[in-house]
Structure formats: structure tokens, C-alpha cells
Amino acid sequence: MKYYAGLDVSLKETSVCIIDEAGKICREAKVPNHPEGLVRLLDDPVFPLARVGLEAGPLSQWLFSSLAQAGLPAICIETRHTKAFLKAQVNKSDRNDARGIAQMMRVNLFRPVHVKTLASQKRRALLTARKLLQEKAHAIENDIRGLLRNFGLRVGAVGVAKFDQRIRELVEGMPELVEIMGPLLISRKQHQSGESHRVGRISLCGDEMMRHLLYEAAQVMLTRVQKWSWLKAWAMSIAKRRGQQKAIVALARRLAVIMHRMWIDKTEFRWTREAVPATV
């Protein structure tokens, strides 16, 4: 006989419900939100599980990865579809939600969602932290400009590299302002990633962070990378006809297409258009 499990994950505990093929409840329990406890409960030879469903949420990626590594048939299901299914319940509770998810697993009425790998989650965390530091550095710079403006001191248009020097020149001879600006400049320097935060005119479809990174990569390739390539030549020709801004956006889109094809074909980027000889 096949068995199905539903997990309703909350902040501290997870409600578990196991049912059989007929929909009869075989086991219910609440365990702390830790993979070891869930694996110990679900990996029971008495109840060979055909599906284990849990709703997508903040902790679902962590729990899903651990359950999958333990050999359990875990499935992460779409949130809105699950919410619509559970609306039919009279009483809303963690226990009843676990029962409803288990029934969804039994009748095969769910929409699975893709769960990122642990490596992808780490890269995402790194990029999120990088973006946060960039925003903090930009916010500190704007606060410094606003504070000095109250004293009639205008920073003006100045690059990242010369910003500290410009501030020290403005507050020179004003001990009180020097004392105020010193910690702010140190904090800004500690949070500065060395690159300015750029937002390009790219379609708002897809992941926002990916759009920012594609635009930034295209801008660096077009303005800073010294090595010549057919891709840079293509973007430069667009810049001559329609301007640098549109060329950067076009290059960002083409970079996305190329990297996707490299990912699918498992190939490397070729700096020239020369055909690679086929291997025998």
C-alpha cells in the first residue's frame, strides 16, 4: 500500500500528516523545524511514502534539500494553488493544512515548483549581500551630501574614487564637521564594493537582480574590457548608430541568450567567430 505525507511548515514547528491510498489518516505529529527530526519521522518502513508534499516558503528550500538527500520523495508545491485548495476547509489550522496537503499528494492535485540547488542558493545569497552593501554605500553618500548642503557646501558631480577627497576639502577648517564626516566616510568605505549601482532600461520581466547584473556586465564589457571580440564589435556598431545606452541594453540581452546557450550546450565562450573543428 502507498502512503502520502503532507507537511505544514511554520516558524518553529512542522505539522506532519500521513495518509494511505484510501485517505485514512495513519499518523499525525508535530516536530521541530529541523531536517533530522522530519527524516526520522518520515523514513519509517511501516509507511513507505510515495509522495511528501510541502508548501513553498522561506524554510522549504532548506527542508526540501535535506529530505531529498535522505531519499524521500519530497515535492515542493506552489503556494497560491495550495491556498486555493485549502480554502475548502472549515477550520484553518496547521494540523488541518497538513491533512489537506497530504490529500493533495494522494489525488495528485498539485503544482510542483523548481527548488534551487544549494550552490545556487549560496550564489543568490552572495549577490543579495553585494546589492545590499551597494545600496548602503549609496545611501550614506546621499546622506553626506544632504548634511553638507545644510551648511551651504555642495559636493557636486564627483566620482566614487574622489568622493572622500572632495568631502575632506569641503569640511577643511571646520573641526565639528570633520568630526561628523570622518565616521561616515569610514563606514562608506567599508561598505563600498568598488562599483557603482547601475540600473538599465531593460524589460521588467524576469528576475530583478539578474537584470541589474546583466546590465552591469554589458556596461563593463563595453567600456572597461580591453580585449576585443566579435560581441564587443557588434555592440560598438549599435552604439555608433543609436547611442551607448541602447547598445548596453542590447548587449545585456545578447549576453543572456549566449550564456543560456552555453549552459545548455556545456560549451565555453569563443572570443572569435572562427568555427571550432569537430572532434573525431
**pLDDT tens, 105-131?**
999 888 898 888 778 888 888 888 888
Q: Is the pLDDT assigned to residue 1 strictly greater than 70?
A: yes
Hey, how many other C-beta atoms are within 10 angstroms of the C-beta on 3?
22
Interatomic CA distance for residues 47 and 174, integer angstroms? 76
Binned at pLDDT 50, 70 and 90, residue 160 comes out as: confident
pLDDT in tens, 212-257: 888 888 989 888 888 888 888 999 999 998 888 889 989 988 898 8
Q: Is the pLDDT assigned to residue 62 strictly greater than 70?
A: yes
The percent of residues above 90 in pLDDT, for the chain, comes to 23
Structure confidence at residue 275 (pLDDT)? 53
More confident residue, 183 or 223: 223
Interatomic CA distance for residues 105 and 47, integer angstroms? 15
Look over the chain and give the mean of its residue pLDDT values, rounded to a whole number: 84
Structure confidence at residue 260 (pLDDT)? 86
Binned at pLDDT 50, 70 and 90, residue 204 comes out as: low
Alpha-carbon torsion, ordered 171, 174, 176, 178, to 10 deg: 40
Q: Cα Rg for the chain, rounded, in angstroms?
A: 27
Alpha-carbon torsion, ordered 95, 99, 100, 101, to 10 deg: 100
Q: Which residue has the cell 531593460?
A: 202
Q: Which residue has the cell 511528501?
A: 52
Q: Select, from the ranges 72-76, 174-178, 255-259, 263-267, the one with the highest average predicted confidence (pLDDT).
A: 72-76
Interatomic CA distance for residues 226 and 233, integer angstroms? 12
Q: Is the pLDDT assigned to residue 271 strictly greater than 90?
A: no
Q: Is the pLDDT assigned to residue 16 strictly greater than 90?
A: yes
Is the C-alpha dihedral spanning 188, 193, 194, 200 positive or negative? negative
Structure confidence at residue 189 (pLDDT)? 59
Whole-Å CA distances, 65 to 52, 74, 114: 13, 9, 12
Hey, how many other C-beta atoms are within 10 angstroms of the C-beta on 162?
10
The architecture of the domain spanning 3-107 is 2-Layer Sandwich (3.30)
Interatomic CA distance for residues 51 and 219, integer angstroms? 47
pLDDT in tens, 79-110: 888 888 888 777 888 899 999 999 999 998 88
Structure confidence at residue 102 (pLDDT)? 93
Binned at pLDDT 50, 70 and 90, residue 206 comes out as: low
**What's the rounded mean pLDDT across residues 260-269?**
86
Q: Which residues pair with 76 in a beta bridge?
A: 54
Please report how the helices 230-242 and 208-223 are oriented relative to each other, as an axis angle in degrees rounded to 10. Answer: 90
- Domains of the chain, by residue range, sit at 3-107, 119-191, 208-265
Structure confidence at residue 203 (pLDDT)? 47
Q: Are 28 and 16 in contact (CB under 8 A)?
A: yes
